[in-house]
Amino acid sequence: MTTSLNLPEIFNAADHFVDRHIREGRGGRTAIRCNDRSYTYADVQAGMNRVGNGLKSLGVRMEDRIALLLHDTEIYSQVFFGAIKTGAVPICLNTLMRPKDYQYFLNDSRARVLIVEATLWELVAPLRNSLMFLEHVIVTNGPAPASTLAYEEWVSGQSTDLSPAATTPDDPCFWLYSSGTTGQSKGTVHLQHDMIYAAETYGKQVLGVQENDVCFSAAKLFFAYGLGNGLYFPFHVGGTAVYLTGRPTPDAVFGIIQKYRPTIFFGVPTLFSNMLVAEEGNLEGVRICVSAGEALPPDILKRWEKRFGVTILDGIGSTEMVHIFISNRIGEIQPGSTGLPVPGYDAKIVDENMNPVPDGDIGTLLVKGDSAAAYYWNKHEKTKETMLGAWLNTGDKFYKNEQGYYYYVGRTNDMLKVGGIWVSPIEVEASLTEHPSVLECAVVGAADEENLIKPRAFVVLQKGYTASKDLEKELKSHVKGMLAPYKYPRWIEFVEDLPKTATGKIKRFELKE
C-alpha cells in the first residue's frame, strides 16, 4: 500500500508545519504549552522567523548543518523550523550523552552552528579547540560565556518576516543520529517530505490525531519517536504539544497529565511499568497511550488497562524510518504483538538469502515506506547494507502469525541459539515480567562451563521483594512453567537498574560484556 502526498515542486517543511496555519486562520490556536506558559502558532512563526534571520546574519547557507542540543521547550520548535525555513539542516542531538560523543557528532556532521542549553554547553566547552568545523555557538536559558552568543540577544533584533527557502520535497531537511544500541551512532539524513508522510500515515490513519488533540510525549524531541509525538504530529493538524523539560519520572508525568489534560500520551515500556508502581496518579483526559522503543510486555498492557481504563498501542519504528511503521490499532490489539503495517508501509520477513519465510518462522524484518532516510552520512558501506533499494533492513527478528500480526523477537545480534534452536530474549523477558516480583528485566546469552550459549537474566525487583537464592529458583521454575524448558534462564542476576539508551532501549551489548 502507498500513500501519495502530491506535494508541489517547491516545498518547505517549515512552511507546511507552521506558516500554513497562519494562512488558514489558526494563528491564534495554542501550539505549545510548557512551564506554565502557552504559545500560539503565530508566536511560533515569529520565533521561527527570528531564528531563521539570525542564522542568515551569521552567513548560514542552504544545506549548512545546525546542531541542536536543547531541552524540550518552546525554543526547540522555533530553532528546528527556523533552520529548515532557511534551507539549513537542523541536527537533533541527544542531551544525555558524554563529551566525547558530542565531539564525534559535531565533527562528523561538520555543523557550522551549535544552539545549546547553558547547562549543556559545559559538556561541550572543553572540546572547543577540537571542533574543526564549528564557527558559532548560541547559548539558551542562561548566561553566554565568552566567544558565544546569548540566544535572547541574538534573536531580539531580528525581523519576524522571512520567506521560506525554495527547497524541494527531496531536499535534505534534518538529521537524527541513531541511538547506538549496536555501536557507533550514524547520521541519518531525512528529506523535506519525510515528516509529512509519517504524519499522514501513522499520525492520521492510526492515531487519528486531530486539531483538538493535545499530545504529550515523555520521549524527548531529540530522537525520532519524540520528534513526531511532540512536534510534527500536532503541528500537522494544528493541534497542541505539551512539553516536560525535565526527566520523565512517574511523578512528573502524572503532574503534566493532571495539569494539561493531554488526549494522547506517548511513552516507553519502562516508564509504563514504573507508573504502575506509583501509588497515586490518573490518566484523566487521555484517550489513547502509545508505546515504542522496546516490545511492550503483555502483562504491562493488561495491568495498565485494568488500572487506568486506557489502552496502549504498541508499535515499532526506527530512526531510519523516522517513526512507527508497524502498529496495533484501537480495538484490534493482539497483546504481545507489534501489530500490522501502518497504511503507506509494506513489510516482509526474510531469511539470510532475502527469501520470504513462511508464517510462523523467524526471519529478518524488511520495511518499505516513503519516510525512509536517504542515506547514512559518511557511511557508504553501512548505507548499502541497510538501505536495499526501496526496502530497509531493520536488523530486527520477527515472525508473523496467520492473522498477519507481526511479533518482535529481538535484534539480529540479540537472538540466542540454545541447543541448536533459536530463543528470543523478548519471550523470556515477557515470561519473567509476569512474575509479581519482577519490575523489569533483560535476557542475554552467556556461555556455560562447556562453552555452550544459554539464557542469562538481569532482573530489577519490585518494591517489597528481596533478592535471594529461593527467589532465583522460583523465577526459573516460573519460566519453565510457561515456556519450553530449554528457554529458562540458567543464571539470574539481581540488579538495581538496567543500562539504557536515552530512548529507553536496553543496552544488551553492555550486559553481554
pLDDT tens digits, one per residue of 466-495 = 999 999 999 999 999 988 788 999 999 999
Residues in the chain: 513
Residue 435 lies in a domain: yes
In this prediction, residues 449-465 reach a mean pLDDT of: 88
> pLDDT class for 223, splitting at 50, 70, 90?
confident
CATH number at residue 88: 3.40.50.980
- Strand ranges across the sheet with 30-34: 37-40, 30-34, 240-243, 214-217, 264-267, 288-291, 312-317, 324-327, 340-341
> pLDDT class for 241, splitting at 50, 70, 90?
very high
Predicted confidence at residue 224, as pLDDT, reads 94
Using an 8 Å Cβ cutoff, are 377 and 371 in contact?
Answer: no
CA 45, CA 24: separation in Å to the nearest integer?
A: 13
Give the CA diameter of the chain.
71
Q: Is the pLDDT of residue 181 over 60?
A: no
> pLDDT class for 415, splitting at 50, 70, 90?
confident
> pLDDT class for 2, splitting at 50, 70, 90?
very low
CATH number at residue 487: 3.30.300.30
Residue 64 lies in a domain: yes
Question: Using the 8-state DSSP alphabet, how is residue 405 labeled?
Answer: -
The residue range of the domain holding 505 is 414-512
Could you read off the pLDDT of 270-289 as tens digits, one per residue? 899 889 999 899 999 999 99
Q: Which of 101-115, 236-250, 334-348, 490-504 has the lowest mean pLDDT?
A: 490-504
Residue 369 lies in a domain: no
Q: Is the pLDDT of residue 361 over 90?
A: yes
Domain final position from 154, 170, 192: 192
In this prediction, residues 147-153 reach a mean pLDDT of: 96
> pLDDT class for 327, splitting at 50, 70, 90?
very high
Predicted confidence at residue 373, as pLDDT, reads 98
Number of domains in the chain: 2
Residue 400 burial (CB count, 10 A):
24
Q: Is the pLDDT of residue 450 over 80?
A: no
Could you read off the pLDDT of 377-395 as tens digits, one per residue? 999 999 999 999 999 999 9
Q: Which residue has the cell 495498565?
A: 304
Q: Is the pLDDT of residue 509 over 90?
A: no
Using an 8 Å Cβ cutoff, are 383 and 376 in contact?
Answer: yes
Could you read off the pLDDT of 27-70 as tens digits, one per residue? 999 999 999 999 999 999 999 999 999 999 999 999 999 999 99
Using an 8 Å Cβ cutoff, are 196 and 5 in contact?
Answer: yes
CA 10, CA 204: separation in Å to the nearest integer?
A: 24
- All residues at 6 or more sequence positions from 83 whose CB lies less than 8 Å from its CB, including other chains: 51, 52, 55, 60, 66, 89, 90
Residue 33 lies in a domain: yes
Predicted confidence at residue 1, as pLDDT, reads 40
Amino acid at 108: D
Domain final position from 172, 192, 212: 192
Domain final position from 149, 173, 192: 192
